[in-house]
Amino acid sequence: MLFNSLNYLIFFPIVILFYFAIPAKFKEIRNFWLLIASYFFYMNWNAAYALLLFGSTFVTYLAGILIEKAKEKKKLSLAKWMLGISFAINIGILFFYKYINFFILNINRILGLTGSNEMGALDILLPVGISFYIFQALGYTMDVYREKIKATKNLFRYMLFVSFFPQLVAGPIERSTNLLKQFDEDHNFDTDRIREGLLTMLWGLFMKIMIADNLAVYIDSVYENYPAYTGIEIILATMMFAFQIYCDFGGYTYLAIGSAKVLGFTLMENFNAPYQATSVKDFWRRWHISLTGWFTDYLYIPLGGNRKGKMRKYINTFIVFFVSGLWHGASWSYVVWGVINGIYLIVQDATIAARQKVKQFFHVREDRFSYRLGCGLVTFFLVDFSWLFFRAKSLGTAVDILKQIVFSLQPAKLFGLAVNRMGYSMQQLVALIIAMLLLFAFDILKNHIYLSTKQAGQKQKEISTGQSGQDQGENAIVQTGQPANVFQIVLSQGMWFRWFVYLGLLFMILVYGAYGLEYTQTEFIYFQF
């Protein structure tokens, strides 16, 4: 069931109606209703894979209890064994369903060189959201092992934590320390909270339907038939893809956060104006925050973080981004995408002193708008280059696309690019440009409030501790801050302004979303991961 479908438009109000019809004092009944709704939501893709979801859930539920008991009896080795078994079973499930054919393909390439018989691929359908809910469940067992939380004894409550439908299939990858405890809280019918949730969902639909799906019209035509396009046209499509994937995945996230908020739950932010970043490290503070945080806590720190010297830090960073690329898909193109971003971060960290000397020599003012703009543009083009590998169907295709860009650039072609060659009418193109301007305005406002809040917090920290306001997190790849809530700002305005925003967004979604009134629902990009 897709968030941008008629089915969800029917499903969600029914869930809300029955949830709030149950008195708040009957929390267990409310939670059981949400659990039924969540499994029904998931089974709309493939009912059989609900058993897989339950299997992963039950293994980590049982592991949490056994780890806690072993810890209470001071049997640390047994606790480690329970943690290891939990990880092994879940990673094994993920490997089989997501990577087995990728593994077979690469083994066959080796066998082909030796003349041996090749293995046949397996007919397996990738369960939607498997990477997300397995990581969330494994994070829970690690939190129990680290004694950040107590193991929950209520199986239904834990099942709901893993399967909570707003964020089940594409995140955010929630922490047990945030979401699990919320199922014990009272969630009353609050009109202000519901209005904020619905506005958040409306913005998510706008990002997905109006921007992402419209951008896909040109991007798909170029990447599916790149030999027919010039290098400059491919570059344009790649730049557009940076915003397509942001609006597609960011749109899903806002729909998830908004849906949860209507019900009274708070999910973590997953995006914080990523293309306002002034460095690649800053970009990863803002992009897919829940996954970056997961890898920091459960992979980077266990590897040693930055406690064992510069070289070990760089190796750990490389490993994290290699695994991050592989997490996104069973293809070497995803791995290369991850590795490129890892190299960016390593180079950025290794050249801090040299870059600082250059800035001092040329008397560069870092507080100037021109400096921030230049850094932002460089960051965007570096990140966008890596997106080419993410979007290409394979590593070989990515290499061929790069060749097409280099040997058939034809920059003059951009000025003569006909609108109909892009697949848009002039009216659609104008509407898309207006939508992009609204996106930029939203992110600029969000970034301005975020930076202002961050600076105020740093000054307060300096006053209270006497320490520098710079990031103090010793063991982190990047430090993430709390994104600003633009929706609350909109809702604090006068009625005429609020309704202008509501109706304006709704009008653009219904009239100009993708193919206008002929729009057909499309899957979110991150559903394939």
Token pair 């996954």 is found at: 291
Query: Cis omega (within 30 of 0) on the bond before 274?
Result: no
Q: CA dist 273 to 37, 196, 258, Å?
A: 32, 19, 18
Cβ contacts of 381-384, under 8 Å, gap ≥ 24: 382/280, 382/344, 383/242, 383/277, 383/280, 383/283, 383/341, 384/238, 384/239, 384/241, 384/242
Q: CA dist 262 to 193, 194, 247, Å?
A: 6, 5, 22
Q: What angle do CA 325, 390, 292 make, to 5 degrees?
A: 40
328 is catalytic: yes
Calculate the CA dihedral of residues 268, 522, 508, 516 and round it to 10 degrees: 180
- For residues 438 and 486, is the Cβ–Cβ distance under 8 A? no
Q: Which two tokens stand for residue 517?
A: 């009134």
Q: What is the DSSP letter of 151?
A: P
Alpha-carbon distance of 310 to 1, in angstroms, equals 46
Widest Cα–Cα separation across the chain: 74
Three-class DSSP labels, 318-373 = HHHHHHHHHHHCCCHHHHHHHHHHHHHHHHHHHCHHHHHHHHHHCCCCCCCHHHHH
- For residues 35 and 163, is the Cβ–Cβ distance under 8 A? yes
Q: Kindly name the residue from 187, 328, 363, 448 that is annotated as catalytic.
A: 328
Question: Given CA atoms 174, 179, 183, 188 in this order, what sign does their dihedral have?
Answer: negative
Alpha-carbon distance of 242 to 302, in angstroms, equals 32
Taking Cα atoms as reference points, which of 174, 151, 141, 181 lies closest to residue 60?
A: 141
Phi, psi of 148, rounded to the nearest 5 degrees: -75, -30
- Amino acid, single-letter form, for residue 463: I
- Amino acid, single-letter form, for residue 211: I
Q: CA dist 148 to 65, 76, 142, 178, 309, Å?
A: 14, 16, 9, 11, 27
Taking Cα atoms as reference points, which of 44, 54, 46, 39 lies closest to residue 125?
A: 46
Burial track 449-476 (b if 16+ CB lie within 10 A, e otherwise)? bbeeeeeeeeeeeeeeeeeebeeeeeeb
Catalytic residue set: 328
